[in-house]
Amino acid sequence: MEIEFDPYRKLSFRSHIQYESHEALVEAICMGAPAGIPVRATLFWANGVLFRFFTLPPSEAVSKEYVSGNLVWDHIEFAPMATYVKEIQGPRDRPMFTIYVLDVSSHTIFGPLTEWIRDNLLKNKSFQSGEKR
Residue 114 lies in a domain: yes
Looking at the DSSP bridge assignments, the partners of residue 53 are: 76
Provide the edge-to-edge strand list for the sheet that holds 10-18. 10-18, 70-80, 49-55, 39-46, 97-103, 87-89
Residue 112 lies in a domain: yes
Residue 15 lies in a domain: no
What is the H or E stretch that residue 10 is in? strand 10-18
- Structural domain containing residue 59: 26-126
Residue 74 lies in a domain: yes
How do 10-18 and 70-80 pair as beta strands?
A: parallel
Identify the pLDDT of residue 39.
87
User: Using the 8-state DSSP alphabet, how is residue 58 labeled?
Assistant: P
Residue 43 lies in a domain: yes
Q: What's the predicted TM-score (pTM) here?
A: 0.86
Residue 132 lies in a domain: no
Into how many domains does the chain fold?
1
Size of the chain, expressed as the number of residues it contains: 133
Q: What residue ranges of the chain have pLDDT lower than 50?
A: 125-133
33, 25, 42: which is closest to 87 by C-alpha? 42
Residue 8 lies in a domain: no
Residue 107 lies in a domain: yes
Could you give the CA distance from residue 112 to residue 106 in angstroms, rounded to a whole number? Answer: 9
